[in-house]
A and B are shown apart, each in its own frame.
Chain A
Amino acid sequence: MMKFLRRSKSAASAKERLQLVLIHDRTDLNATELEALKDDLIATISRHVAIDPLGVVIHIAQDGRSQRLVADIPLRSANQRRR
């Protein structure tokens, strides 16, 4: 365990890098496109309900060989909205 913590081994970095590359390969969505998607999503949702744009988190989660787009969008409370 100590040995493991001392210095990150190349296998760990290979796995980490591959996880990101495979998400991109499988979805055809890179970080820039994901950012653009997030902006569009914020704009669209804001037309219907007040949200906190800074709190929006969007990422791709993996479940076996399938991936899902997960968005966490905090809503502003009705009190805040009235102001």
Chain B
Amino acid sequence: MTAKVVTITSGKGGVGKTTSVANIAVALASRGQRVVCIDGDIGLRNLDVVLGLENRIVYDLVDVIEGRCRLRQAMIRDKRLPELYLIPAAQTRDKTAVSPSDMIRLCDELRPDVDWILIDSPAGIERGFRNAIAPADRVLVITNPDVSAVRDADRVIGILDAEEKGPVSLIINRVNSDMVRRGEMLSVEDVLDLLAVHLIGIVPEDENVIVASNRGQPLSLDGKSRAGVAFQNIARRLMGEEVPFSELETPGLWQRLLGRRR
């Protein structure tokens, strides 16, 4: 048995990488999968707080790489889901403390023991991003339906294509269906026209995301909210299940009719 390494990246910051990693990890783990998430954002760690595991950190990624602890010692086990682990980023170091080959070595060591390794990439296209994509079997690019996030996503997809880091799949996060309906936000179809890439998830804008991160309890733990369901659908699609994009229905029949008439 060998794990799949999935890296989540975006180019632009603040589009929802960390939230997505936390929620997809929780959704996979609640389906009985063994999951390790790695916070790749050295110096600006956040996955620990979003997952609610910040008080349990002893060792971090850089400690493992520099040999101050064994891999197992840096893996924080989530008490809610026994098969979910976090390897936190170092907070007082920078990206140069890790190299792409360190990440490949680390993931190779983890692969035999788990089903999924999810890597939370830092924003940007520099060293931290290179580290995060180096071991990836699959890359999920996340964007929001706005001009800067889409532009940056295109740039990242271009780099991933050039490095043959395929297959790349897209998550469109924070879709406000009301604004889409009014023609004041790019629709899922618009974003797909522009980026021409495989779609794996549509996440509606949902204030429960903030509430969940305030509490350190990812949405997909209970999965009643719309965003929580969307993340669970992404997890199911990653596992190979065919899940129809029911969320697509919300952005509007109206808009789809217009699209068809043009």
Binding site for B on A (CB under 8 A): 1, 4, 9-12, 14-15, 17-19, 21-22, 25-26, 62, 64-65
A11 touching B193 in the complex, CB below 8 Å, given contacts A1-B258, A18-B147, A25-B155: no
A26:B258 contact, CB within 8 angstroms: no
A64 / chain B contacts, CB cutoff of 8 Å? 196
Chain A's interface: helix, strand, loop or mixed, by majority? helix
Q: Does B49 contact A (CB under 8 A)?
A: no
A15 touching B190 in the complex, CB below 8 Å, given contacts A9-B182, A64-B196, A65-B196: yes
Chain B's interface: helix, strand, loop or mixed, by majority? helix
A4:B186 contact, CB within 8 angstroms: no
A14:B258 contact, CB within 8 angstroms: no
A12 / chain B contacts, CB cutoff of 8 Å? 183
7 contacts between A and B (CB under 8 A): A11-B180, A11-B190, A15-B193, A19-B194, A26-B154, A26-B158, A62-B196
Interface size on B, residues (CB 8 A): 24
The residue in chain B whose Cβ has the minimal distance to the Cβ of A17 is B147
A1 / chain B contacts, CB cutoff of 8 Å? 258, 261
B196 / chain A contacts, CB cutoff of 8 Å? 62, 64-65
